[in-house]
Structure 1
Amino acid sequence: MSSDPIPIMRLARPAAGPATTTTAAAIMLGLSVKAHREAVGLRQQELAKSIHVSTTTVCRLEKGEKSPQRRTVEGAADALKVDNKTRDLWRVLVARTEEPEWFQSRFADLTPDWLKRLLGLESMAIDLTLYDVRLVSGLLQTPEYAACVIRTGLHRREWDGEKMELRLAQRVERQQRVLGQAEPPTAIFLMDESVLVRRAGPDEVMRAQMVHMRELADLPHIVIRFVLLDAMIAGNEAAMAGSMAQLKFGSDGPPDMVYAEHYGSADYHVKPERSHDERARPWSQKDMEYESHLQLLLRIQGEACASPQQSRRMLEEAIRRYS
C-alpha cells in the first residue's frame, strides 16, 4: 500500500447524466441560473419581478434547496434569454429534480432531514475525505458490524423487526452507491485509533471488520489512516468536532462541500465562489466556516494521523487481538 493516495485524475460526473442525483441536479440548475443572471447584470429581486415570483423563490432556486417549479425555470430562461442548449439542459435538470432520491421511497422514515443532503450528493463526488471519531466509517462497515451498531440504537423488541432490517439495508445500499459504483471516488478515511478497540460486537464481528478494512486499504482508490490517541493539537480539536467529510465534485460539478455532523444534526459548509474583486475583501463568517473545517481536516492528516503503512500494522495487530 502506498504512503499517499494515488492521484487519479477524474472529471466531474456529468451534471445531466444518468447517475445524476436529484440533489445534485437541483444544485447544478441553481448554479447555472445564477451564472446567467449575473452575466446579464440582474439582481435576484429583478429576476423575480420579471417572472412574477418572490425573491425567496429565486434565492431557493439558485441555492438548489428544493425542487423548482417548471414554470419558474421556463420563466427564468425567457427572462435571461438563454440559448437552446442551456434551455434544454435546464429542462433535463428540472425533470431530474422531480424524481425521488434513492432513499426516499423505501427508507424515508429512517432518514433524518439533516442527513438527506449528504446522501443525495456523496455518490456524485470524485474525491472524499472522511473523519470518524467513535466508530468505523459507515461506508466501510461490514453488515455484521453495522447490525451491532444499529441494534444499540433500537429497543430490544425491534432487533428482529422490520426497522432493523431496513436500517441495515439502507447502509448496505449506501455503500454500494458510493464505493460500489463503476468509477468510485478516491476516498481517504481518517478514523480515531479508538475504533480499533471500541467493541461494537463479539470477537468474530470485530475481527471480520478489521479484515475487511485491511482488504479495502489495498485498493488503489482507498486510503485508511488512524488518528493516534497520543496526537495533540489537531487530534484534540478533532475529537471535539465530531465526524466530518469533505466532498469534491470537480470543476464542472457542484461546489466542494464540508459536512460536519453533531448529535442529532449536521451543518453543510460550501466552498465560497468569489470573484476577483470579492477575493480582495475580508471573508465573511459563513465563508470562513468552510475554510476552518477544511483546515482542520488537513491538520488531522498532517499532524495527528499514523501513516498508511503504520495504520495497516495497527489493523494487523487488531486482527490478531480479536482472533
Structure 2
Amino acid sequence: MEDRVIPFKRPGADPPGSWGVPALLLGAEMQIERERTALTQKQVLAKARVRVSPSVYSRIENGEMRIDKPAVVEVLLDALGVRPGPRRQQLLQLARDASVEGWASSVRTRARAAYREAVPDSMLRLASLEEWAVRQIVIDTNVVSGVLQTPRYRAVVTRRTLLASQRQHAERVIEVRGLRAEKFQARLPRTTFFIQRSALYADFGEPGMMVEQLQFLLRYVDDLGSPVAIRVIAVEDPLAIQVASLIRLSFAKGAFAAPDVIYTEAGGRAEFHRGPIAGEDVDGDYLDYQDLSDTVIQLAPGPMPSRELIVEALSWHRDRL
C-alpha cells in the first residue's frame, strides 16, 4: 500500500474551481490509509493532537470541503503513518490543490453574511466539481434544469421553489444561480439533460415566460454541433427513486483517476455520492442512483421525439397568450 502511486495529473492550467476534485481524491486516499492501519477517525485525531473536530475530519475524508489549511493534512498524515516519500508528497500536493477557491467560494468569502446564506456548502462543492467534469448526465423532474434556465424563468422558479428559510435571500440566490449558468455556458461540457415532460407544461401564470424558455431549449436541440443534448422524459413517472434533481459527473480518466460523483436533491436536501476507487466496495446509495440514471437514459426518447415534445409544449403555451 505504501508504494501505491496516485495517478493524478493536472490537465493544463488550474481551473478556477479546482478544489473539488483534489479534495475528493485526497479524502478517498486518506480513508484508505486509515482503514489500512485499522484506526477510527477519533483515534487518528487523538494521535494527531490537532484542533480538528470529528465532523470536519469526516468531511475531509468525504471530500466535502475545501482544505483552507493544508498544513493540517500533513499532521494527519503523520498520525496515519504515511512516511516520507512519493506517496506522501502526492497527498500533500492534493491538499494544496484542494485549498484553491472556486468562483462560488470567492463569492461567499468576499460577500456579506446574506450572501453566505445564498451559497450553501453543497453549491460550493457542486460548482467546483462541475468545472472539472468532462461529461454530465442531468435529470430534473419538476423544472427545466438550472443552467438551462432563462433569466426570467430562473427568477420565477427560484421564488416559487425556495424553502421558507431561504426566501429572504431570493435575490441573491437568483444571482448566484445565474452565475452558475454563465459558467456552464462558457464551458459547455458534454452534457445530456433529461427533463420531465410535465415540467414543460408547468403553469406559473406566465405563458410568455414559458414560450421564451422553450424556444431557448429548442436552440440547443437544433444546434447539431453542440455538446449539449436535451431529452424529454415522456413517461409520467419512470423513476424508481423520487428525486427532484440528479447530476452525474464524470472526470477525465486519462488525466487523473477521479471516480464519478452523483449529486441529488430531494425534499430540499442535497447529497453527494462518490463512485468507488480501486480496492473499494461500491456504496449502496451510489449504485441505486447509478441504476436510476441508467434507467432514465434507456426510457427517454431520442432527439427528434424529444424535439416534438418540446414543440408541442411550446404550442400549448402560445395558445394561452
* TM-score, structure 2 normalization: 0.75
| 1:148 and 2:151 matched | no
User: Take 1:297 and 1:315, find their aligned partners in 2: how far apart are those partners?
Assistant: 21
In the alignment, the residues of structure 2 paired with residue 191 and residue 15 of structure 1 have an alpha-carbon distance, to the nearest angstrom, of: 34
Q: Aligned-pair distance for 1:101?
A: 1.3
Q: In structure 2, what is the equivalent of residue 293 of structure 1?
A: 289
Residue 66 of structure 1 corresponds to 65
2:247 is paired with a residue whose SS is strand
- Whether the 8 Å contact between 1:44 and 1:55 is mirrored in structure 2 is no
Total equivalences in the alignment: 292
Between the aligned partners of 1:254 and 1:77, the Cα distance in structure 2 is 21
Q: Distance in 2 between matches of 1:99 and 1:178?
A: 12
| TM-aligned CA distance change 1:43 to 1:93, over 3 Å | farther
Query: Once the 2 structures are TM-superposed, how far is the Cα of residue 59 of structure 1 from its aligned partner?
Result: 5.0
| Unaligned 5+ runs, structure 2 | 1-7
User: 1:301 and 1:245 mapped to 2: Cα distance?
Assistant: 13
Displacement of 1:44: 4.6
Greater Cα shift, 113-122 or 83-92:
83-92
User: Counterpart of 1:21 in 2: which secondary structure?
Assistant: coil
1:18-65 alpha-carbon deviations (Å, 9 max, x no partner): 434333332233345456x479x5455686566444794765433333
Identity fraction in percent: 23
The answer to whether the aligner puts 1:126 opposite 2:134 as a matched pair is: yes
The code of the aligned residue for 1:308 comes to P
The 1:203–1:24 alpha-carbon spacing in structure 2 relative to 1, beyond 3 Å, is same
Aligned to 2:197: 193
What's the TM-score, normalizing by structure 1? Answer: 0.75
- 1:162-217 CA deviation, whole Å, 9 max, x = no partner? 94442322121001223322xx3211111111122112352221111011001122
Structure with more contact order per residue of length (Cα contacts < 8 Å, sep ≥ 6)? 1
Change (3 A) 1:44 1:126: farther
- Per-residue Cα deviation, 1:87-133 (whole angstroms, up to 9, x for no partner): 77246325426997144244322134444432332222111111111
Mark the CA change 1:210 to 1:55 in structure 2 (over 3 Å): closer, same or farther.
Answer: closer
Letter in 2 for 1:23: G
Q: Which letter does structure 1 place at the counterpart of 2:249?
A: L
Q: Which residue matches 1:247?
A: 249
8 Å contact from structure 1 (residues 30, 63) kept in 2: yes
Asked whether 1:221 is paired with 2:217, we answer no
How far residue 135 of structure 1 moved from its aligned partner, in angstroms, is 0.8
Distance 1:122 1:237, change over 3 A: same
Q: Which residue identity lines up with residue 151 of structure 1 in the other structure?
A: R
Amino acid at match of 1:211: Q
Of 306, 311, 322, the residue aligned with 2:306 is: 311
**Where does residue 7 of structure 1 map in the other structure?**
none
Say whether the 8 Å CA contact 1:21–1:101 is kept in structure 2: no
User: Which one-letter code corresponds to 1:64 in the other structure?
Assistant: G
2:85 counterpart SS class: coil
Q: Secondary structure at the match of 1:223?
A: strand
Match of 2:147 in 1: 139
Distance 1:34 1:112, change over 3 A: closer
Q: Determine the structure 2 residue equivalent to 1:171.
A: 177
Question: Which region of structure 1 is more displaced relative to structure 2, 253-262 or 60-69?
Answer: 60-69
Structure 1: give runs of 5+ residues left out of the alignment.
Answer: 1-10
Relative distance call for 1:12 and 1:173 in structure 2 (3 A) is farther
Deviations 1:193-242 (A, max 9, x none): 11221123522211110110011222531111111145x6xx1535x333
